[in-house]
Structure 1
Amino acid sequence: MRDAGLLGLRHHVPADASGPTSAARLPKTIAGTRGSALVRRDVVETLLNDAGTAGEACKTALQLGAALTVWDKRGPAFVMWSIWRFRHSLMQDNDVSTVGYETGLKLLADYGHRPIRLGVVRLNVPRCGFLLFFVADEARLVACVGHGDLEDLWSPDDTYGKGGPPMEG
């Protein structure tokens, strides 16, 4: 896969992944040590609790069986800010629903030159994706953003009512 070469090694986390975890640090894949340890989905879901509407939508996607991938390679937050600021503008130009980009891009800009790791959550039905920007060596999420058919993640019985939470542009 081409993007894996650009971003470093990556690990796919199956929906039924299990393994040791620590409340103080993320599993090895996120924390930075080498090895084939997989990121536990429940740890990521816990980190999403404080990520606002984008975090809630991402948790819903994970609970629906979305694929979770976290890359080993670190990079400065400002690089991701630059890339995703441009991609967000393209999404807005093409009327793609987004959630969390306004806040997420500001958080990435504020994080500056400090290293982060990138995670991706992808769901095929409804078709949507989320980007998770992790602190390089801690069990902490810098930002979570999402795009795609986000309105279809919530049913009429959910807290947000029919159509889900308010989405950006």
Structure 2
Amino acid sequence: MEAKKKITQMYNLEMSGAICLNIHVNKANKIMLGSILSLALIIFLIPISAFIALTIIGEGIHFGFILTCVIELLTSGYLTRLYLWNKYGKEVFEIQYNSLLLYYDYKFFKDNRQQYNFKSISVYSEYNGVLMAVSKMVSNPKINTETSSVICFEIDGKIVKSEGMIPLETIISIDRHISQWSKCLI
């Protein structure tokens, strides 16, 4: 089986033995990203500066100060994560013959890893707010395959949806690739 690889600005798709689908986040504008990163750095540096100042002055470190530092560091961490998601974020689906791995990639770390082992998998698309089987969409002439949609997988009765959108044409090709697996296993 030949390996197919499609790369666009909004998704990467690699189909060989397994399927690897990366759906990229729409990038935020540079001013917003700069603002988030600046705010995160300022919030991170304030407790460090205050700690140095309190140490030099000779004032003691109080419980309220430590609590404030913890809250500021958590806030700074959240803003840094938000910056990384809007700059580098992507949703990754890795599908093999009997498993699906889903996680969010922030470039420097991965989050929300979910592993699904399955006996059956079906591909759906959310079209006008309704889940439709891709096999039914192919035969419907009213559906434009160049529009974008959310991809959904039904794994042994459980629905797993993507956050980002990809073209219906790509969803159809993923469904066909998965259908070839089931033909090979029979």
What TM-score, normalized by structure 2, do the two folds share?
0.21
Q: Which has the higher helix share?
A: 2
Larger radius of gyration: 2
Structure number with greater CO (CA < 8 Å, separation at least 6) is: 1
